[in-house]
A and B are shown apart, each in its own frame.
Chain A
Amino acid sequence: MVSVRLEKVTKKFGKVVAVNNVDLEIEEGEFMALLGPSGSGKSTLLYLIAGIYKPTSGKIFFDDRDVTNLPPRERNVGLVFQNYALYPHMKVFDNIAFPLKIKKVPKEEIRRKVFEVAKLLRIEHLLDRYPGQLSGGQQQRVAIARALVKEPQVLLLDEPLSNLDALLRVSVRSELKRLQKNLGITAIYVTHDQAEAMALADRIAIINEGVIQQVDLPEVVYNRPKNMFVGGFIGNPPMNFVEAGVEYNETVKLIVGEDSVWLPQEYIEILRKLKLQKVVLGFRPEDVLVLKDERQVEPGSSVIRGEIFTVEPMGREVLLTVMIGETMVKVYAPPTQYYSMGDKVFLQINPAKLRLFDPDTTIALEYLVKT
């Protein structure tokens, strides 16, 4: 097991910059998710670590060893692809044995290791079949077995679950996490599915347009997104954004339409420092109390007025789309109330959970002050 360190890594394909000046450190035994929309450069980053691509500039280290110019076979990494990339003309046994065969490992040892890893992934009864005869989930296990059998220093996974159906995905997901922790292997996991990244990873690196946006623990990424992109990418539905004016008096408050929103002390201090006239107010759908009647509003708390645009019952809760002026926001409400289109509602945002962003740089205000 090794740690992986990227230093100012840039990869260009012709004029297109796929990965732009990335610094990233993955600790030994850590499960790191690279999360980003398609075309963000996350897979390119993975292939740079694997050695399939060479960086245009920058360096890659495994522990203190510079592997930037080493070919893949000298890096000893395992890679699992989205489409599994099994060798269709070989039986499962030979698929898993292939990396060992290339290394000229003795036959007996190959057998032993293949059976060992097959047992670990519970595919020992499939060794005699061809990949074409397996289900998606089984093929994926074979691909993981093939990546693990050579005891790699780093396990790289490129959207390994996205070809599985939704139910299977959730069960394989938890197995994968257990497996990684049991083996204590350093793993880098590329995905565009934020729920997957949240569920699996020790830390998440969010990438957009080749640039790392934030690297943090899942709960930090979720609760304290560094910028509007991260807030808008993580969560389903993602964070809501509403433009707001700022009023500086004896206290500092936000103005949304005709309503004012009180701020927690932390943000009051930050705003007094930054003296912004306009901010973007961000809040998550679940951090809102939806009130149908103005009389329910507790005195001293602040609400934003809105009108229900659509109602989507989800079972455990109801997802409401609410128009605040011209802006659409999504909020969760308990299913105990009856909502219909056109209803006036009052949204009371949990002050501890609201986030403020600078409309020019899209960066969250608390990070703006820190740097």
Chain B
Amino acid sequence: MMQLWDVEVKSRKIEIVLILAVFLASLPLILNYGLLILSSFSTEMVTNLDPTSFRPTIDNWILLFEGRLSVTGGVREDVVRYTINTAIVALGVAGVVVLVSVMAGYAMSRMNFKGRSLIMQMILLLHAFPGVALIIAVYLIFRATLPSDIELARIYSFAYVIVARAALEIPMSIWLIKGFFDRVPWEVEWAAIIDGASRLRVWREVMLPMVKPGIAAIAIFAFLAGWEDLIYVRTFLFDRTLATYIESNINVEFAYMPLLAAAGTLYLLPTILFFILTQRLLLETSTGGIKG
């Protein structure tokens, strides 16, 4: 296939100006994250742009994984456990979102039924709802359905937060994956049906492999949403995650900031990793993935 290039009228000067502008615009972000990461390896916070305050150490990270909140304090926190909890929630959200979206997205893209466009519009409306606005109602349901056995209730709270948080992500994911299904030519599906496959088999063996990039994209978005969530986790989950751990320690009296900087860096890690690893994929998603 022919490679498509940009029109060749770009001027070198304008390009340099543009790159500078983009660099300046993203400078605050780069600076903030840079300082946070730097602070996590320092005995003092380096947030005042004062290089002399950077005294390198890895004690913060050791303390973090030992679960100590301050250099002297005796309070122990199980950070490894929190990390695992965060991962459980994030993976759970990703799993539920992918499962529901690939089925709903296929139906929205490929099946002709009454009220399809109405449902699509409602889904978009749902997406516009902030999760906080729903939280009272969601909490009432949570209270009403909570098992009385405490161990069971703990597990239930995991399941509940996963499903509730996934529900917030699903509308957008359906739209996104629908765009990917839309791009698969009808002929491919017809060919498989002519070859004797049932609709379910076509979906599983032909359609799903062809929308793999889309599945990866919604999985990553959902994982990050679950990883980053604070409000739902704080409201429903009995256990702590990294988000609630940091949040609850950020303004306690004995808070040792460089240690929290380390916790914050740990918390950021998957986000940064995912964006670096999947930059191209996400770009493709945002430019071509969504089609009405």
Chain A residues engaging chain B, CB cutoff 8 angstroms: 47, 50-52, 72-73, 77-79, 81-83, 85-89, 98-99, 102-103, 146, 150
Contact = CB atoms under 8 A, between A and B. Distances in A.
Contacts of B24: none
Interface stretch (B61-69, B118-126, B190-198, B246-254): B190-198
Contacts of A78: 194
B190 A150 contact: no
B206 A102 contact: no
B56 interface: no
Interface in B193-246: 193-197, 201, 206, 209-210, 212
A81 B191 contact: yes
A85 B196 contact: no
A81 B195 contact: no
Given A85-B187, A87-B206, A102-B201, A52 B193 contact: yes
B204 to A, nearest CB: 12
A130 B191 CA distance: 17
Contact of A88 (B187, B192, B201, B210): B210
A102 B195 contact: yes
14 contacts: A50-B190, A72-B193, A72-B194, A73-B193, A73-B195, A73-B197, A79-B194, A83-B185, A85-B188, A85-B191, A87-B206, A87-B209, A89-B210, A89-B212
B190 A99 contact: no
A87 B206 CA distance: 7
Contacts of A83: 185, 187
Contacts of A79: 190-191, 194
Q: 10 tightest A-B contacts by CB?
A: A85-B187, A73-B196, A99-B195, A89-B209, A85-B191, A81-B187, A102-B196, A85-B188, A79-B194, A72-B194
Question: How big is chain B's contact interface, by range?
Answer: 10 to 19
A52 B194 contact: yes
A78 B194 CA distance: 7
Contacts of A82: 187
A86 B185 CA distance: 10
Contacts of A150: 195-196
A130 to B, nearest CB: 12
B202 to A, nearest CB: 10
Contacts of B210: 87-89
A82 B190 CA distance: 12
A148 to B, nearest CB: 12
A98 B195 contact: yes
- Between A83, A85, A103, the greatest number of chain B beta carbons within 10 A of the residue's beta carbon is seen for A85
Interface string B8-22: 000000000000000
A89 B212 CA distance: 10
A153 to B, nearest CB: 12
A81 B193 CA distance: 13
A52 B190 contact: yes
Nearest to A156: B194
A86 B193 CA distance: 13
Contacts of A85: 185, 187-188, 190-191
Contacts of B187: 81-83, 85
A88 B201 CA distance: 16
Nearest to A103: B196
Contact of A81 (B190, B196, B197, B206): B190
A86 B209 CA distance: 13
B192 to A, nearest CB: 7
Nearest to B209: A89
A270 B195 CA distance: 53
A50 B201 contact: no
